[in-house]
Amino acid sequence: MFDVSTTFYVVLVLYFLVIVGIAIWSWTKNKTSEDFLVAGRSIGPVVGGAAFAATQMSAGTFVGTLGVHYLTGASWLFIWVGMWLGWIVAATLVGPKFQSFNGLTVPDYVGKRFNSKSARGISALLILIAYTVYLTAQYQAGGNVFQTLFGIPFMWGVLITIGITLLYTMFGGMRATAYSDFFQAVIMAGCFFAAIPILYSQAGGAAFVGDFLQSFSPNMLTWHHGFKDLLGAGAAFGLSICVAPYELARMYTLRSKKTVKLAIGFSFVFQAIIAISVAAAGMAIRSLYPYMSTPDIASTIMAINILPPIVGSLIIVAILAAVMSTVSGVMLVSASAFSHDFYATMIRPNATDKERMRVNRIAVLGLGIIPIFLAMKQIELVQFVVLLQASLTASFFFSTVLFGLNWKRGTAAGAIVSMLGGFFTALSWYLSGKPFGLNEVIPGVIVSIILFIAVSLFTKPVPEDSLKPFFKDVG
């Protein structure tokens, strides 16, 4: 437990008040399911870009990644290149087509494009399970921040973080999620960027930090991580991000195809500022505290012991913001898989919009509460899914999304076989101890592509009517 100043409590309360304010404002604006699930397709490029970045950043970026830079220096920055290449795929081959389809959920796309309820159901089920479990890890991260800082029980930390997030997601829907993401991304990028000059002046200047690292651990200033390491990790991030359902769902909220492209540009700005600031911070902290028991506490030490109270408080709020923005994005995607893809499409297709809105909110509440119990039970399977969710969802969705949007011949059978084949390949690769040191997402994606093409060529093409929304030259 650290000695936390009153400033921190004031900053924390102000932050929560802004978030609650956004939720109330969004609540008054949400009249239909379309408002709730895709913010009435009204989000512009800056807010949209911030939302892309905020959802992508989690507690891991500010705790784990900062710790890696603290230990190994700047070369780990180059994994962002893989991530950004993934975003380029999203900007050119995925996002604009997704946006113009005007769907409500990711399984909506699968159902329409492949004219198949089974493919839709399978994709909704995977999202529902993988994301509900994934939330557990984010809850644990929120609980840890409170426990480490204030010494209050872990569970209370979980309940405070999740209570607020649940509130704004349940009442404000995607609009509240998008605008609070914007606010959270500004805090994350702004605070870390503003902290850098202060950190370096505390550390005796940039030249001193460089000289110190040169004598203390010279490989921190060179290529500590080799090309193969960076390529493997970068490819895994890139392949995952271009088809990640929590980012795809955001495409529907944007105004136009052009907005999608510009939003991804603004997300690069946020990502670059955060990436560079986190790396610079990690290296400066190393020169101030060269021997920490674990690099994971570097960000907390920076916030509490190094920076002035107001900036330090904002840094902790930024870490909480990273947790909350990921939770709200993921929560909404898993809840809509239940409320829209199962309830409104399969169980009660004649439900009124008012009823759908009610079910949307109940689903957010229900699926937001389940991970609390999972977090308490510490089930082994949970840790497993948490570790693998990005690889498994990417291996599952890669061909169905990327090839489905760009190759007319893709069929429902091809999609189903590739989703299941990609998923199980990634899983078995991981269980076999990652042969050749290769991340499981790479074989998962390769197998999903092969199966998608091979099975599609041997099965009957989908009707033209299903292709129309995605291909200009059809119909």
The single-letter code of the amino acid at 268 is: F
CB environment 159-176: b (16+ within 10 A), e (fewer): bbbbebbbbbbbbbbbbb
Cβ atoms of 134 and 385 closer than 8 Å: yes
Which residue among 73, 82, 143, 422 contacts another protein (CB under 8 A)? Answer: 73
**Token digits of residue 376:** 């308490």
Under 8 Å CB-to-CB from 430, ≥6 apart: which residues?
A: 388, 391, 440
Is residue 83 at the binding interface for another protein, with CB under 8 A as the rule? no
Task: Indicate whether 272 belongs to the interface with another protein (CB under 8 A).
Answer: yes
Q: How far is the CB of 283 from another protein (least distance, A)?
A: 6
Nearer to another protein, 13 or 207 (CB): 207
Task: In whole angstroms, give the CA distance from residue 57 to residue 51.
Answer: 10
Q: Which of residues 41, 117, 255, 257 is near another protein by CB under 8 A?
A: 257
The residues with which 43 forms a beta bridge, in sequence order, are 254
Going by C-alpha positions, the residue among 423, 382, 314, 369 that lies closest to residue 158 is: 369
**Per-residue binding letters, 96-115, with another protein (x by CB under 8 A):** x-------------------
Query: Which CB sits closer to another protein, 8 or 266?
Result: 266
Nearer to another protein, 306 or 372 (CB): 306
Q: Under the criterion CB under 8 A, does residue 275 sit at the interface with another protein? A: yes
Which stretch, 15-23, 142-150, 258-266, 307-315, contacts another protein (CB under 8 A)?
Answer: 258-266
Candidate list 127, 187, 195, 283; residue touching another protein; CB under 8 A: 283
CB-based contact 2:149 (threshold 8 Å): yes
From the list 54, 421, 98, the residue with the least C-alpha distance to 248 is: 98
> Residue 252 corresponds to which tokens in the numbers above?
């529907």
Interface positions, 177-216, toward another protein (CB under 8 A): 200, 206-207, 209-211, 213
Q: Per rule CB under 8 A, is residue 351 in the interface with another protein?
A: no
> 3-state SS of 23-73?
HHHHHHHCCCHHHHHHHHHCECHHHHHHHHHHHHCCHHHHHHHHHHHHHHC
What does each C-alpha distance from 59 to 54, 66, 269, 427 come to in angstroms?
11, 10, 19, 25
Stretch that binds another protein, among 36-44, 264-272, 419-427, 457-465 (CB under 8 A): 264-272
Closer to another protein at the Cβ: 95 or 371? 95
Could you tell me the smallest distance in angstroms from the CB atom of residue 224 to another protein?
Answer: 8
Q: Which residues bind to another protein, rule: CB under 8 A?
A: 73-75, 77-78, 80-81, 84, 88, 91, 96, 200, 206-207, 209-211, 213, 220-223, 256-258, 261-262, 264-265, 268-269, 272, 275-276, 279-280, 283
